[in-house]
Structure 1
């Protein structure tokens, strides 16, 4: 039997030495696990945030239903026929203090909960900026020309109500995310997140699989574990097809409640197209230009949620 392949691990404190490893992970996998980021997102804040998230997801249904969409899929999602085990709350732009405040007001959040959510949103946004800058520069693109500082960052908290009867079934169907980057704080107690490698095999993201040379408090089971995954539906377009568009799913492994926190760097409101550094005679443009919102609408209208919608944007 072939050895289990592990998701790449990137050390945030080791750039530019990690640049080639980051590009390789982005091209082959489309995702990676991140370590040494706690100066930006402290472990104590992540643990506090998980407590807040659990309390919000336990609110009565009539309160959770106040969490309305700003764009399709940005607000409350009740269990459905397609995903009966899944429930979520969200806000459109966690980089906007006004949006965060409105989200908290919708759910009658306490002052402590508001402060925790605001601090978490600020930390995740800073982490997005760091990852985006390192990724652009690793590809030979000047990060100041991208303008990611003004892109909205969608926020979603997820609950999976796994029961004995649901073991072995999907918690969420196979999909890709439609934004540029995704940062996921996974459930450190209940597994189930799997990503597809280039051969079509699903690889579980196993807690504590970081190599000993990169150990940190991140990997201790006594605190929340952050798994940083980015899905590149739009980033694949921006990178002119260079980066992998990873598919992932959540499988029910055991009858427990599973909670995760996902943040999405959505992309610019204006047209998205590859920077000049990534287009030349040897690498002609592969996709027609589009906006983030037009791409989202196309995904919903075609029901192509696993990256297939990109094929509709291929240049003639």
Structure 2
């Protein structure tokens, strides 16, 4: 599949008027991703966090391996046969200050590094909550509490060791994210991320835009929206011999409550409930057990009544 020169939508969060609200809804449905500009994370904090991340990913392997899983894949991930160019560190829930401090302790961060990580985790968490509020308003959902209240917010920092020999190969295979939403601070200079245009089937190169945050929708967003939101398929390609670093926040799904579309999105027999209710943990295990990582697992939870 070739890469297109089309670009993904850009949404301005500073003056979020009805026009921007409509753009948000349209991007959610047609693309399943968009770039945020003029958001609430200070540029200086983004730069400081990127510097800390590079230092942590350059730590000796024996220290990085102290970053243990809470759920499968939430801790340190080393090079593998499937993704030989990738490694990353993780934190299961940045909404928990205790979990953030434990993550810092595992990696023996300095006091200044710890301060940066805590500040960044608080800012990116609040930005995710704000996106949830704006999504609800844009699609016409009125709820008594924030959409993502009480959900785990998994945090991952990623490193791709691209070499001259790896140019043209995949850093990460084609997949969808299993959760609802991903906020990505990608590399400011090194290309590689591509998303699929569902209409054409072509991959769109997502070029760096310094200071912006890339937002992707995952499988849970498609279920919650009753099929309205696109769970965007994406990949990372090696395009140059360089180290590529990114910072990702994954808004997963409710811990114990079943995932299902709100009543407002299940209108009548013309718009029935498309998926049976299930917990995020059930769906995560389904994806792991079947190996279906690019949205195909949703077919297994479709409502057949």
TM-score range, shorter chain: over 0.9
**Structure 1 residues not aligned, in runs of 5+:** 209-218, 220-224
- Alignment partner of 1:187 is 2:184: no
Displacement after TM superposition at 1:5 (Å): 1.6
Contact 1:286 1:314 survives alignment (8 Å): yes
Can you list the C-alpha shifts for 1:183-227, whole angstroms capped at 9, x where unaligned? 00000110100000011100001234xxxxxxxxxx4xxxxx433
Can you list the C-alpha shifts for 1:224-257, whole angstroms capped at 9, x where unaligned? x433222220010001111111000000010001
Structure 2: how far apart are the matches of 1:3 and 1:101?
42
The corresponding residue for 1:222 is none
Helix, strand or coil at the partner of 2:297: helix
Quote the RMSD (CA, aligned, Å): 1.3
Distance change >3 Å, CA 268–CA 183, structure 1 → 2: same
Contact 1:238 1:272 survives alignment (8 Å): yes
Structure 1: how far apart are the matches of 2:174 and 2:129?
28
Displacement after TM superposition at 1:16 (Å): 3.5
Structure 2: how far apart are the matches of 1:93 and 1:145?
20
Helix, strand or coil at the partner of 2:102: helix
The corresponding residue for 1:214 is none
Helix, strand or coil at the partner of 2:149: helix
Helix, strand or coil at the partner of 1:112: helix
The corresponding residue for 1:313 is 301
Helix, strand or coil at the partner of 2:294: coil
Structure 1: how far apart are the matches of 2:133 and 2:8?
21
- Alignment partner of 1:251 is 2:248: no
Q: How many residues matched?
A: 298
TM-score calculated relative to the size of structure 1: 0.92
- Alignment partner of 1:293 is 2:263: no
TM-score calculated relative to the size of structure 2: 0.95
Structure 1: how far apart are the matches of 2:162 and 2:41?
29
**Structure 2 residues not aligned, in runs of 5+:** none
2:36 to 16, 34, 37: 34
The corresponding residue for 1:121 is 121
Helix, strand or coil at the partner of 1:171: strand
